Structure formats: C-alpha cells, structure tokens
C-alpha cells in the first residue's frame, strides 16, 4: 500500500478588527501600536509594543477612535495621537464619510 502525500497548509495568523470585531488574516488589517514613543501606525507589523488591528475601511477606523482602539491598546489617546490617526484616515479614504 502506498501512502498518500498531503501538503501541509501554511498557518495564516488571524487578528480581530477592534472596530467591527471581525476576524481576518493579519496581513489584511492595519496595525496600530502603543510604544514608549506613543501611539503610531505600524505599516510593517514589526514595531515593538502593544498592538491593535483595524480594517482598511473608514467605518472601522471611526468606530475604533470612539473608544475601542484606546481600550485595546490599554491607553488614552492624546490630542496629537488622535489627530495623527484622523489625518491617516483622511489621507487614505478622503474627507467625506461613507
């Protein structure tokens, strides 16, 4: 009897969007990180610090900024950090809401 050769499926890390609570592959989400330097957007996914993930959708970012993002990062967003995140939203998806 011959053995069947089966290919192992590659593990795909899953993360939850803090805006809509949907679980998706890590690569499809944007990471926000709280580091000693403050809260910042981590496009590489490699910055050390506590991270939270958001969809690349304006609605998720707006929900996240209302409180779930700060809660996930276990911090309070100061005005400069909030302004930087809102500027990123406007740059990515324009100034009008969906």
Measured over the CA atoms of residue 55, residue 61, residue 62 and residue 65, the dihedral's sign is positive
pLDDT at 72: 96
pLDDT at 1: 64
Average pLDDT over every residue of 29-40: 95
Task: Report if residue 19 sits inside a domain.
Answer: yes
Task: Report if residue 1 sits inside a domain.
Answer: no
| Structure confidence by residue, pLDDT tens digits, 35-87 | 999 999 999 989 999 999 999 999 999 999 999 999 999 999 999 999 999 99
CB burial of 64-78 (b: ≥16 within 10 Å; e: otherwise) equals bbeebbbebbeeebe
We report the CATH number of the domain holding residue 18 as 3.30.1230.10
pLDDT at 98: 45
pLDDT at 5: 78
- Angle, CA of 63, 12 and 10, to the nearest 5°: 170
Tally the domains of the chain.
1
Domain enclosing residue 43, as ranges: 14-91
């Amino acid at each position: 009897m011959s053995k069947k050769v089966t290919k192992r499926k590659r593990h795909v890390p899953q993360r939850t969007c803090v805006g809509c609570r949907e679980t998706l592959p890590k690569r499809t989400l944007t990471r926000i990180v709280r580091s000693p330097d403050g809260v910042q957007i981590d496009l590489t996914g490699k910055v050390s610090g506590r991270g939270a993930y958001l969809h690349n959708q304006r609605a998720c970012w707006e929900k996240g900024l209302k409180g779930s993002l700060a809660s996930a990062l276990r911090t309070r967003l100061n005005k400069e950090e909030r302004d930087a995140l809102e500027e990123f939203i406007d740059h990515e998806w324009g100034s009008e809401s969906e």
